[in-house]
């Protein structure tokens, strides 16, 4: 038999190996930034063009490389960071595998300009698809600048697999944040297509979080500190009241390296149990300093997975630290220096008498389903049937086996019509119940309203109907640069929804108008941005659906909201006027029937 096994040419072997380390532009950004941090740079610049497909450049003012080291640095397994196996358990640097530059050079056109501080002349080196093109002396700043052009130029399959500019940019930004947030004593700038996205001065951990995520974080964070023999934990967690509906900012670092660790994540989220809703996520930025001998980082090429020798102990310490931090917060009295003068007056008028029960003022005209004409009109645009017809609609969506033969249909429809509005009952201010021919119809009020509003807003976005409620006192809202960017991307759609946002620069917007009935534009816009982040990279992303869903979920009446008979009747009618009355925008069941047999069964 012929011998068929051959050694692959170096260039092919390199490309294959590179695939493990560099999967997309963001991986190259991560590797270059980590090298710059390891080189002791105090100011780092990241320049990206076309989501890294044409250019990724990182400039640092770190140690620089000698002429020989510059050449060596592109060899596989060439590193200055470890020399023997034992060193793997004493790692303090971000890199140690000696693979990153070799991998980048295998699949891109790379230029390095570097000069150690004490040398007068630097060296400039060009390498393409692992081949050295040239290396010459050059004049350059001390430190190192590496530009990576045309990533995957020689691996077309890989290049074609890259996602759109927005998705790749998001990955790049995420890698930038993972490094910049914890390297807070280093200054960073990040330019994307010649636009400055971030300029961050060296400062504290907290100031860096605020610099990256926006001014509101200043008030939202609680410090975490715990020093034990095994670990030192420092960082910040979000106050429970600011937990998010989508997995937002959750960052773990071990010795300043970003890691993913579901077990430790559990330690944090468990400490929040019963303080935040079960579907909310806490924010955290936690750094764990630990002797490198107590961990194993060498599990995955991207180094985001690590093993602790004693993970259970780290879990226990972390859990206790978080609990303590939340506990302190709960005990600290809130001092509000901006007390509303009317409240002070009310108390000073009756200093010694016992306090009366607070008065709840209800606007008797407020109807969450009908309160603005625009929204009602919105429903009518998709031909709402008369009340007597909703049962017929209901018939079409329920289990076909339950549908009665044609001859008693008229009767059954009549049976389904609540005889009068009094036929509705609200249970635990959460469900609506109504007698129907086959039993009891049980409707989840919040999900039903979400569905109604969702279809209304989808319709509004499609038809470019523009309804806005002017703000008497326009609010200033601050966002992180990333979030502000998303809001700018969504500008046209937000207008269609009724938002009138005026950019003020520095990621601040003035809210001159909102969709009707929106009282807290900040929380609504934050939800929209978060949902966008969560969904934008999925293949079947539908922007209008995301916006309508965010609006509906924010504005729908919640469980615990008392409804009048008239409002219940409106809800019934509007729900069964919807195109899909059976499931909420987030895919949950809206109603069910408890059959007469089941009811009888309860009392057997
Ligand atoms: N910006 C830089 N400034 C100074 N030296 C650098 C810089 N980038 C790389 N080097 C040198 O080049 C070597 C190779 O870099 P490379 O990123 O390939 O490997 P590494 O950082 O040692 O390990 P890893 O593959 O885990 O990143 C480094 O060990 C370092 O000595
Ligand atoms: Mg490296």
- What per-residue confidence (pLDDT) applies to 12? 79
Rounded CA separation 227/469 (Å):
52
Atom of ligand 1 nearest to the CA of 78: 14
Greatest mean pLDDT among 177-191, 553-567, 581-595 lies in 177-191
What does the pLDDT look like over 270-295, one tens digit per residue? 888 777 777 788 999 999 999 999 99
Q: Which domains are delineated in the chain?
A: 10-203 (3.30.565.10), 208-330 (3.30.230.10), 366-604 (3.30.1370.100)
- Structural Rg of the chain based on CA atoms: 30
- What per-residue confidence (pLDDT) applies to 581? 83
Ligand 1 pocket residue status of 247, Cβ below 6 Å: no
Helix axes 205-213, 481-489, angle to 10 degrees: 10
Per DSSP bridges, beta strands 231-238 and 257-259 are unpaired
Rounded CA separation 283/269 (Å):
9
Weakest mean pLDDT among 113-122, 144-153, 184-193, 275-284: 275-284
Residue nearest to atom 14 of ligand 1 (CA): 73
Å from CA of 403 to ligand 2 middle:
67
Å from CA of 97 to ligand 2 middle:
7
Cβ neighbours of residue 480 under 8 Å, at least 6 residues apart? 212, 213, 214, 507
On whether the CB atoms of residues 468 and 460 are closer than 8 A, the answer is no
Mean pLDDT within 359-378? 41
pTM for this prediction: 0.64
Å from CA of 96 to ligand 2 middle:
7
- Give the ligand whose atoms come closest to the C-alpha of residue 73: 1
Weakest mean pLDDT among 124-128, 377-381, 506-510: 377-381
Mean pLDDT over the full length of the chain: 82
At 429, list the tokens.
């201010």
- What per-residue confidence (pLDDT) applies to 124? 98
On whether the CB atoms of residues 80 and 62 are closer than 8 A, the answer is no
Mean pLDDT within 52-76? 96
CA 23 vs. chain centroid, Å, equals 22
On whether the CB atoms of residues 292 and 255 are closer than 8 A, the answer is yes
pLDDT > 70? residue 394:
no
Q: Ligand 1 test: best mutation among 100, 183, 299, most atoms within 8 Å of CB?
A: 100
Å from CA of 106 to ligand 2 middle:
15
What does the pLDDT look like over 292-315, one tens digit per residue? 999 988 767 778 888 899 999 999
Residue nearest to atom 9 of ligand 1 (CA): 35
Q: Ligand 1 test: best mutation among 73, 141, 147, 300, most atoms within 8 Å of CB?
A: 73
pLDDT > 80? residue 374:
no
Q: pLDDT class for 346, splitting at 50, 70, 90?
A: very low
Ligand 1 pocket residue status of 426, Cβ below 6 Å: no
Mean pLDDT within 242-251? 79
From the list 92, 95, 94, 96, the residue with the least C-alpha distance to 289 is 92
Per DSSP bridges, beta strands 43-49 and 187-192 are parallel
Rounded CA separation 79/91 (Å):
13
What does the pLDDT look like over 467-489, one tens digit per residue? 788 877 888 999 988 899 899 99
The single residue listed with the structure tokens 């200093």 is 351
* Buried b / exposed e along 202-219 (16+ C-beta atoms within 10 A): eeebbebbbbbbbebbee
From the list 103, 23, 97, the residue with the least C-alpha distance to 303 is 97
* Buried b / exposed e along 442-451 (16+ C-beta atoms within 10 A): ebbbbbbbbb
pLDDT > 80? residue 331:
no
On whether the CB atoms of residues 543 and 534 are closer than 8 A, the answer is no
- What per-residue confidence (pLDDT) applies to 538? 67
- What per-residue confidence (pLDDT) applies to 540? 65
pLDDT > 50? residue 192:
yes
3-state secondary structure 233-258: EEEEEECHHHCECCCCCEEEEECCEE
- What per-residue confidence (pLDDT) applies to 89? 81
60: part of which helix (H) or strand (E)? strand 55-60
Rounded CA separation 388/393 (Å):
10
What does the pLDDT look like over 214-225, one tens digit per residue? 888 988 899 999
- What per-residue confidence (pLDDT) applies to 299? 66
Per cent of the chain over pLDDT 70 is 83
Å from CA of 383 to ligand 1 middle:
65
3-state secondary structure 403-441: CCCHHHHHHHHHHHCCCCHHHEEEECCCEEEEEECCEEE
What does the pLDDT look like over 500-551, one tens digit per residue? 999 887 789 999 999 888 888 998 999 999 889 888 776 667 888 899 999 9
From the list 257, 310, 322, 317, the residue with the least C-alpha distance to 284 is 322
Rounded CA separation 498/503 (Å):
16
Ligand 1 pocket residue status of 99, Cβ below 6 Å: yes
Residue nearest to atom 12 of ligand 1 (CA): 73
Ligand 1 pocket residue status of 65, Cβ below 6 Å: yes
Q: pLDDT class for 120, splitting at 50, 70, 90?
A: very high
Cβ neighbours of residue 194 under 8 Å, at least 6 residues apart? 49
- Give the ligand whose atoms come closest to the C-alpha of residue 68: 1
106: part of which helix (H) or strand (E)? helix 100-106
pLDDT > 70? residue 420:
no
pLDDT > 70? residue 383:
no
Looking at per-residue pLDDT, the higher value among 450 and 329 belongs to 450
For CA atoms 482, 483, 487, 489, give the dihedral sign. positive
- What per-residue confidence (pLDDT) applies to 208? 97
Looking at per-residue pLDDT, the higher value among 360 and 62 belongs to 62
CA dist 458 to 279, 465, 582, Å? 25, 10, 17
């Amino acid at each position: 038999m012929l011998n068929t096994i051959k050694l692959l040419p170096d260039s092919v072997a390199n490309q294959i190996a590179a695939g493990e380390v560099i999967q997309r532009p963001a991986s190259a950004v991560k590797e270059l930034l980590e090298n710059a941090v390891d080189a002791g740079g105090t100011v780092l610049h990241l320049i990206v063009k076309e989501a890294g497909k044409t250019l990724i450049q990182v400039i640092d003012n770190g140690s620089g490389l000698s002429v020989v080291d510059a050449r060596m640095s592109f060899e596989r397994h060439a590193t200055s960071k470890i020399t023997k196996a034992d060193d793997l358990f004493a790692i303090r640097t971000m890199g140690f595998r000696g693979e990153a530059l070799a991998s980048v050079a295998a699949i891109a056109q790379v230029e390095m300009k570097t000069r150690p501080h004490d040398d007068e002349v630097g060296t400039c080196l060009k390498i393409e698809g692992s081949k050295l093109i040239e290396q010459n002396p050059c004049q350059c700043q001390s430190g190192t600048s590496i530009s990576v052009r045309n990533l995957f130029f020689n691996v077309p399959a890989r290049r074609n697999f890259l996602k759109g500019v927005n998705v790749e940019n998001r990955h790049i930004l995420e890698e930038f944040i993972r490094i910049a947030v914890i390297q807070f004593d280093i200054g960073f700038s990040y330019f994307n297509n010649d636009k400055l996205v971030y300029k961050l001065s060296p400062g504290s951990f907290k100031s860096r979080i605020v610099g990256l995520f926006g001014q509101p974080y200043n008030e939202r964070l609680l410090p975490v500190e715990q020093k034990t023999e095994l670990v030192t934990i420092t960082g910040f967690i979000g106050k429970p009241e600011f937990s998010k509906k989508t997995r937002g900012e959750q960052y773990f670092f071990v010795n300043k390296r970003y890691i993913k660790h579901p077990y430790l994540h559990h330690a944090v989220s468990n400490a929040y149990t019963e303080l935040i809703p079960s579907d909310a996520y806490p924010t955290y930025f936690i750094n764990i300093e630990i002797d490198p001998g107590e961990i194993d980082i060498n599990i995955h090429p991207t180094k985001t997975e690590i093993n602790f020798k004693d993970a259970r102990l780290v879990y226990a310490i972390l859990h206790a630290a978080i609990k303590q931090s939340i506990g302190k917060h709960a005990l600290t009295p809130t001092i509000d220096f901006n007390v509303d003068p009317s409240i002070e007056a009310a108390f000073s008028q009756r200093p010694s008498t016992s306090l009366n029960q607070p008065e709840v003022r209800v606007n008797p005209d407020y109807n969450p389903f009908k309160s603005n004409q625009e929204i009602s009109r919105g429903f009518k645009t998709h031909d709402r049937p008369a009340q007597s017809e909703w049962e017929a609609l209901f018939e079409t969506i329920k289990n076909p086996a339950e549908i009665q033969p044609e001859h008693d249909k008229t009767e059954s429809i009549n049976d389904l019509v609540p005889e009068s509005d009094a036929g509705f009952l609200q249970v635990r201010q959460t469900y609506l119940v109504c007698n129907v021919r086959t039993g009891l119809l049980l409707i989840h009020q919040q999900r039903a309203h979400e569905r109604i509003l969702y279809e209304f807003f989808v319709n509004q976005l499609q038809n470019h109907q523009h309804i806005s409620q002017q703000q008497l006192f326009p609010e200033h809202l601050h966002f992180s640069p990333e979030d502000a960017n998303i809001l700018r991307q969504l500008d046209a759609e937000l207008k269609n929804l009724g938002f009138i946002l005026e950019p003020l620069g520095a990621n601040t917007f003035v809210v001159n108008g909102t969709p009707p009935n929106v009282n807290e534009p900040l929380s609504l816009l934050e939800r929209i941005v978060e949902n966008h982040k969560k969904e934008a990279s999925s293949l079947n992303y539908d922007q209008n659906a995301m916006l309508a869903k965010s609006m509906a979920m924010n504005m729908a009446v919640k469980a615990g909201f008392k409804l009048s008979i008239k409002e219940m009747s409106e809800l019934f009618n509007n729900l069964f006027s919807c195109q899909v009355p059976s499931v909420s925008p987030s895919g949950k069941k809206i109603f069910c029937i408890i059959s007469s047999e089941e009811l009888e069964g309860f009392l057997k």
